[in-house]
Structure 1
Amino acid sequence: MKKTLLVLSALTIGISSVITPVTATAALPQSVNNQQVPSLAPMLEQVTPAVVSIAVEGKQVSKQRLPETFRFFFGPDFPEEQIRERPFRGLGSGVIVDADKGYIVTNHHVIGGADKILVQLHDGREVSAELIGSDEMSDIALLKLKDVSDLTEIKLADSDKLRVGDFAVAIGNPFGLGQTVTSGIISALGRSGLNIENFENFIQTDAAINSGNSGGALVNLNGELVGINTAILGPNGGNVGIGFAIPVNMVKNLTEQIIEFGEVKRGILGVQGGELTSELAEAFGYETNHGAFINQVMPDSAAEKAGLKAGDIIVSVNGKQIRTFGELRAKIATLGAGKDVSLGIVRDGKELDVTAKLQEASINKVKADSLHEGLAGAEFANTTSKDNAKGVKVTSLQENSEAARYGLREGDIILGVNRQPIRNLGELRKALDKKPSVLALEVKRDNSILYLIIR
């Protein structure tokens, strides 16, 4: 039977099941044989104020290709596609990680496409939030609350120290019911290959997770955050005891990059490989099948400069064991470009340690339509060292588009907006979030500097 993998979405949640009332029962005793009954209540009283509910509103834009018959009857000027906008509302959860700055971590899919983000705190206050940045490939987003005091933040654990069998508690807003707590254990670590996200290194838990728990907290018995709940495995979208969370160490790396750069500057090692099978392990003199097998090292990559070779088995990253190639890929991608990483490898049956300086992965391109209507038709990306300039590069441009009519050209590098320096996409996005009526773009074209005015 084919299993269905469901990513928790931020769509409106409708509850159609019948809620059956139950009769009251006698209260449980506080102690048995003069011994206190174990309870999670004291820990949860400290932690639950740091978990919030998130409501979003926005528009979903869809494109429908029209039949050629329409173009035959109405002429070549008739558009090939019909664009539709549909309003949507969604619910999810989030976790306060910095009370002083008002930072909240949630999933990208909770706030993706949202025009309005409203956060409900544990004490009932409702506050608007702004999006600082997000990363769709790892499904992490960072929000900031405006002008709010008396917040409670959650302490971060070291998710690399988790063990299968550790107790875990999930906190979130399932089905829009309000804050709910469920408990279980850590069922597995380093889960990948689920095709939920591009970079997968999930914590698996049997703590009940349902729609609306997305972006909520997975904590240990000390009340420390170990992961951000993100998905479930279930044929009908309901809890079957298999939920997944993004490890907090991975979340911390990503959010630090978003705060510093406005986006994730993904690191790359420059290797290709796969999972280590028992046959490969035996052939290469390795006793277990935990690790990532390298079958190719890319020329002039961080891996080649560090001395890695095809046939090496990477068994640890920064002293932490690696179980699969997917786990290696996720950890490297989220550590950040320019970081030094210590790799434990097995070569010809011998254990070695090497250090690599991660290079920057191919940067994500952004369609400028979502940034400003006057830039529609352009596609932007961060510059690289080859461009000899810090800014945002026009990587492609549609003919007769708004951006082209205003004078932008492919290869142009935007250095500033309205006299404000722009060094990356994050800074450009922040400058345009202010919705200025006129854009004065400082542009580097070949060896010249010019200004383009966009209204």
Structure 2
Amino acid sequence: MRLLFWGVIGLLAFSSAACAESGETAAAVAAAAQDAPDPALEGETIESAPRVAPRSMAEMHLSFAPVVERAAPAVVNIYTRRVVNRSTGDPFFDRFFGMGPREQTSLGSGVIVSPDGVIVTNNHVIENMTEIKVVLADRREFEAQVLLADSKTDLAVLKIEAGEPLPFLEFANSDAVEVGDIVLAIGNPFGVGQTVTSGIISALARTGVSITDYQFFIQTDAAINPGNSGGALVDVNGRLVGVNTAIYSRTGGSHGIGFAIPSALVQQVIRSAVTGGELVRPWLGAAADTVTADIARAIGLDRPAGAIITEIWPGGPADRAGLKVGDVVTEIDGEPVYDAATLRYRVGVRSDGETATVVYRRDGRERTARVALALPPDEPARDPRTLAGPHPLDGVTVDNLSPRFNEEVGLDPFRAGVVVAEVNPRSFAARRGLRRGYRILSVNGRKVRTSAELEREINRPARRWDIEVDTGRRIVTWTVGR
């Protein structure tokens, strides 16, 4: 089964007054269907009313047309383009093999999230593209500026200048949605034009889906097809629950299994984009594994749930709050932690300096800690160095690993040492298989912890070099000379 990056776009413009009006209207129609007012719903909006199944045919004929009508002006299409020049270097052979400049285009969707033209979409919609065009529902076209593109979350934030306030979509609390809630998807599948699909929330907190580094998704059965990437999943109040980003499919079409990035994570990325800040997420200062059935039995838990702490960064947020290796985190700020991926998500969507209430189990007892979250430290400081000289690492650029650096490039935050940042493709090291991301551990038996130490050791006069390298899968010793 293939995982395809096709989301669904829905951009809905809603003021708080409009949402309240929509809730009152729905309650009134439901009451009329029963030919009598329902005392249980008096004074309640859709958001606060209890969730109930339809009680009559009249209720089943209620329509989402008013929601779609108000939402449609905020739905945009995104068209991207780039020119790729494939060439052999010889014009004759280029013509013979049909090579030369080729235009690549793609189609996606986006959500207007503020009246001044800020738009969120998927990173894979605009990645590596040189031209990005946004088309509004009224057919006006605008060139878009990229404010931020983040491959780790597969989100990108764009900006257009329309010269007037635009309809926009307000955010829902993605942590408050429940399985079974009705959702709508509005987009432009296959480029056929604006299309609305409906469904329910099929599952929450999907963490086994390798789409982004933050593996925490809302699953829906609302139909999602090609051309919908970067669009919105909205609730019946017309607010953004999540940005749809991928589906499971055997044929390339919708099979009722789609995944959306929760709005909480979307908001964090947008905040960083509009303020011009660096997108660095806070961390707990702890490494964790998912509690499996075997681990649960070993530590005396009645069921496998939560994330067990396996390592603590000295002086980090978890250490200062008194957490220890072996503690099992089960909640953060009242939200459940199902596994290690959930723990990473719950911390990652919060802000630097924010204090989180962490519930954990230790020695069979439930405990609570207040953890002041912070940005991962950039220690040791970055020190990129391009090595040069009569040695095997000539033409290799290395840098220092740190929790901050590792978070940015998607490595284990606790990994330390010297990492290969770039390798000259014509260098001896490249021919011997040295690759970006490998760690260099030692030279001639001397451990190296920083790029400065590596430069000093590799430049020592020698006729033979024994370089210990961590490829990520195994540690090998690379011997050069005699």
**TM-score, structure 2 as length reference:** 0.63
Alignment partner of 1:331: what SS?
helix
- Do the aligned partners of 2:203 and 2:219 also contact (CA within 8 Å) in 1? yes
Shift in Å at residue 159 of structure 1?
Answer: 0.4
Q: Deviations over 1:101-129 (max 9, x none)?
A: 21111110111112111111112211221
Shift in Å at residue 357 of structure 1?
Answer: 2.0
More strand by share: 1
Amino acid across the alignment from 1:358: A
Alignment partner of 1:156: what SS?
coil
Question: Which residue of 2 is the match for residue 169 of structure 1?
Answer: 184
- Do the aligned partners of 1:53 and 1:92 also contact (CA within 8 Å) in 2? yes
In 1, the alpha carbon distance for the partners of 2:398 and 2:270 equals 22
In 1, the alpha carbon distance for the partners of 2:206 and 2:84 equals 31
Aligned residue runs from structure 1 range 366-445, under 5 A: none
Relative to structure 1, the CA distance from residue 344 to residue 43 in structure 2 (aligned partners, 3 Å threshold; closer, same or farther) is: same
Question: Which residue of 2 is the match for residue 255 of structure 1?
Answer: 270
Alignment partner of 2:175: what SS?
helix
Q: 1:55 aligns with which of 67, 79, 90?
A: 79
In 1, the alpha carbon distance for the partners of 2:134 and 2:181 equals 31
In 2, the alpha carbon distance for the partners of 1:238 and 1:152 equals 30
In 1, the alpha carbon distance for the partners of 2:157 and 2:238 equals 21
Question: Which residue of 2 is the match for residue 96 of structure 1?
Answer: 112
Q: Deviations over 1:297-343 (max 9, x none)?
A: 23333222222111111112222112221121133234344443332
Relative to structure 1, the CA distance from residue 84 to residue 128 in structure 2 (aligned partners, 3 Å threshold; closer, same or farther) is: same
Aligned residue runs from structure 1 range 259-278, under 5 A: 259-278=274-293
- Do the aligned partners of 1:312 and 1:345 also contact (CA within 8 Å) in 2? yes
Q: Deviations over 1:272-307 (max 9, x none)?
A: 222222343344344443322222223333222222
Larger mean CA deviation between 262-271 and 32-41 belongs to 32-41
Shift in Å at residue 382 of structure 1?
Answer: 13
Q: 2:239 aligns with which of 215, 224, 230?
A: 224
Relative to structure 1, the CA distance from residue 135 to residue 272 in structure 2 (aligned partners, 3 Å threshold; closer, same or farther) is: same
Q: Deviations over 1:147-196 (max 9, x none)?
A: 33241111110000111111111111111112111111111111122221
In 1, the alpha carbon distance for the partners of 2:299 and 2:400 equals 41
Amino acid across the alignment from 1:172: G
In 1, the alpha carbon distance for the partners of 2:350 and 2:398 equals 24
Unaligned runs of 5+ in 2: 9-31, 36-57, 90-98, 385-394, 405-419, 425-482
Does residue 43 in structure 1 map to residue 58 in structure 2? no
Q: Deviations over 1:222-248 (max 9, x none)?
A: 111100000001122211110000000
Relative to structure 1, the CA distance from residue 230 to residue 63 in structure 2 (aligned partners, 3 Å threshold; closer, same or farther) is: farther
Alignment partner of 2:113: what SS?
strand
Q: Deviations over 1:72-120 (max 9, x none)?
A: xxxxxxxxxxx99753111100001101x21111110111112111111
Question: Which residue of 2 is the match for residue 151 of structure 1?
Answer: 166
Relative to structure 1, the CA distance from residue 97 to residue 61 in structure 2 (aligned partners, 3 Å threshold; closer, same or farther) is: farther
Q: 1:136 aligns with which of 135, 140, 151?
A: 151
Relative to structure 1, the CA distance from residue 112 to residue 381 in structure 2 (aligned partners, 3 Å threshold; closer, same or farther) is: farther
In 2, the alpha carbon distance for the partners of 1:380 and 1:98 equals 41
Unaligned runs of 5+ in 1: 11-30, 67-82, 368-376, 387-394, 400-455
Does residue 194 in structure 1 map to residue 209 in structure 2? yes
Does residue 359 in structure 1 map to residue 383 in structure 2? no
Q: How much identity, in percent, do the aligned residues show?
A: 40
Query: Which protein has the larger Cα radius of gyration, Structure 1 or Structure 2?
Result: 2
Question: Which residue of 1 is the match for residue 95 of structure 2?
Answer: none
In 2, the alpha carbon distance for the partners of 1:361 and 1:209 equals 40
